[in-house]
Amino acid sequence: MADEDPFQWLEDVTGDAALDWVRARNAETLDELTSGERFARLRDGIREVLDADDRVPYIRRRGDHFYNFWQDAAHPRGLWRRTTLEEYRKDAPEWELLLDVDALAEAEGENWVWQGAAVLRPDYRIGLVELSRGGADASVVREFDLDRRAFVEDGYRLPEAKSRVGWINEDLIYVGTDFGEGSLTTSGYPRVIKEWRRGTPLSAATTVYEGKPEDVSVFAHHDPTPGFERDFVGRSLDFYRVEKYLRTAERLVRIEVPEDANTSVHREWLLIRLRSPWEVNAREYAAGTLLAARFDDYLAGSRELTVLFEPDAHTSLEDYVWTRNHLLLSTLSDVRSELHVLSPGEGWRREPLAGSSEFGVAEIIGTDPEHSDEYLLSTSGFTEPPTLKYGHVREEVETLKSSPARFDAEDITVDQFFATSPDGTQIPYFVVRPRAAGGPALLTGYGGFEVSNLPGYSGVTGRGWLARGGTYVLANIRGGGEYGPGWHTQAIKENRYRVYEDFAAVAADLVDRGITTADRLGIQGGSNGGLLMGVMLTRYPELFGAIVCQVPLLDMRRYHLLLAGASWMAEYGDPDDPGEWDFISRYSPYQNVHSGGKYPPTLFMTSTRDDRVHPAHARKMVAKMLEQGHDVRYYENIEGGHGGAADNEQLARKWALLFEFLWERLSA
């Protein structure tokens, strides 16, 4: 393979030659884009948005406290802190500081990035804190005493790895990590789950479950709900298929549902969300349906199922979450949020939950499923700043916090249009623009992994693009989840081309409607959306005036051999299978960029510390395009992981580079 790919040496992430090449390209790009005063004003304006003290500090209940992780100019790495509801209601709440990540990073000489914490129920006194170097997916794990606000000296600790950890009780945890040879899957995730008892070495941990090397990963979970204590283990066969078991003292009991169905258990209830049609007791349930059954009865063989949600041509299930006594549903109707309350009983009573907005998102971000029917509701829209509300089911909703506007939206309009893809499918997209829009247009999309691209407020985009007179466009192409699982499965593997046809159809529709012109239309996307940008570059270059491609997959011949790439073969296919490489090879950007092609100016951006999508995808593409003489530039942030930035300073620079490049190229 090395003979076929002259730039494979750039896959050596931290090799001297590769990093010398990165530094040289970075210097060229920074010299081109950052030397003017406009860039500095843009970067500083974005940084103000990111660091604003009056942002909504989003919270999550754990026991008697509400927890928040906060980053600002004085604390770029962040503060883990908590407060009470009574304090949070105040304009200036008093926070109890648990962990200062900046102080920890300075004391230890490490570029720590917060990755979260698993806190033991029900007293929430100890937690397993995860910290990564530079924002990578791999992290170290350390036990933390929340009462003492300090790490436990002789507590649980794991070295850097893509670990999975979870509490069973104060003296026992589940752990999946790099135990040595054979303990990881080909995707680089844990293949073995063990029980690890406090005070014993990791080498003494007892294996409780093993997956296969070709699986994506294995998992384990303990539910401590009083009266419903249960343990679950399982394996992810690929990105969408799972085998899940109830773990009892005697044996593992398979939860017999389709492998691609999602299951969850709350108290006596089992919920099953289908990704493909399923026939049970002579009745077929459609993909996207949510079903309920009594858990113990189901495991005993009963197949008495209740339909809680059934999709139609316009409506899909986006999310669902339990309170103590109710199930809250978030649905999408032509990509517009609706909220519902379902109450278990003879008929599962259903009623609306207030909070939806016409062109925005209403999202349940927290509940207290063990003790109460409270919920936290976040709402926002393209021109509607975020608001956090607090309520209990069937009671009045209280506004806790609202963010002030970050840009003047008084003369900005929001419209939804539909483009027609070549196969006749109607593709929705949103257009956000000043009434007197005179600037270029920026189109973005994702189109993969059943991830929905929803309307929402972005002070960064508002200040960096809309306030300057630019038009912003969000495309809801297939591959996502905006219309349920079918919207996704229509566009995987051999049908991947539909993602790209949909996006190109939106671009063409924008021109046909007179919203923009091809030479003033820029596009931007990251990760799977970076692959989308690469395909637009190589297959539809005439539709665009400039392209920004971030943390992308591009070399689809080798993607499954790089970092976590093997875990995505259920989405794209297996390049080592000649039949599947046949359809992958038709769009793989790295294999389809040619010296004779005429491509729009392009900026590739990635991160050295991205251990999910290998930075070599972008490195090799740029090296090849430079050799071929194309108009291309490159920027690789040393930190940041798959997000491309480890703190707000880096994030502001990243967005400013993106906006400056596009504005300069599209306004000429």
State the Cα–Cα distance between residues 148 and 33, nearest whole angstrom: 48
Largest CA distance in the chain: 71
| Contact by Cβ (8 Å): 549, 604 | yes
Q: What is the mean pLDDT of the chain?
A: 95
| Contact by Cβ (8 Å): 117, 60 | no
Q: What interhelical angle do 16-33 and 648-666 show, nearest 10?
A: 60
Specify the pairing of strand 632-637 against strand 230-236. unpaired
Q: Which two tokens stand for residue 136?
A: 């990578």
**Closest CA relative to residue 436, chosen from 455, 410, 462:** 410
Q: Among all residues, which ones are annotated catalytic?
A: 527, 642
State the Cα–Cα distance between residues 663 and 668, nearest whole angstrom: 8
Report percent pLDDT > 90 for the chain: 94
For residue 506, the Cα-to-chain-centroid distance in whole angstroms is: 23
At 66 the pLDDT is 98
pLDDT reading at 645 higher than 90: no
Q: Average pLDDT in the 601-617 region?
A: 95
Q: Residue 92's CB: how many other CB atoms inside 10 A?
A: 7
Residue whose tokens read 């850097």: 160
Q: Average pLDDT in the 493-508 region?
A: 98
Domain boundaries, the chain: 8-48+406-666, 260-310, 312-405
The string of pLDDT tens digits covering residues 97-146 is 999 999 999 999 999 999 999 999 999 999 999 999 988 899 999 999 99
Topology at the third CATH level for domain 8-48+406-666: Rossmann fold (3.40.50)
At 1 the pLDDT is 39
At 593 the pLDDT is 98
Q: Which two tokens stand for residue 110?
A: 């490490």
pLDDT reading at 2 higher than 50: no
The string of pLDDT tens digits covering residues 407-438 is 999 999 999 999 999 999 999 999 999 988 78
At 642 the pLDDT is 67
∠ CA(575), CA(162), CA(242), 5° rounding? Answer: 60
The string of pLDDT tens digits covering residues 329-353 is 999 999 999 999 999 977 899 999 9
Map residue 289 onto helix, strand or coil. Answer: coil
Confidence band, pLDDT 50/70/90 cuts, at residue 199? very high
Q: Average pLDDT in the 451-471 region?
A: 96
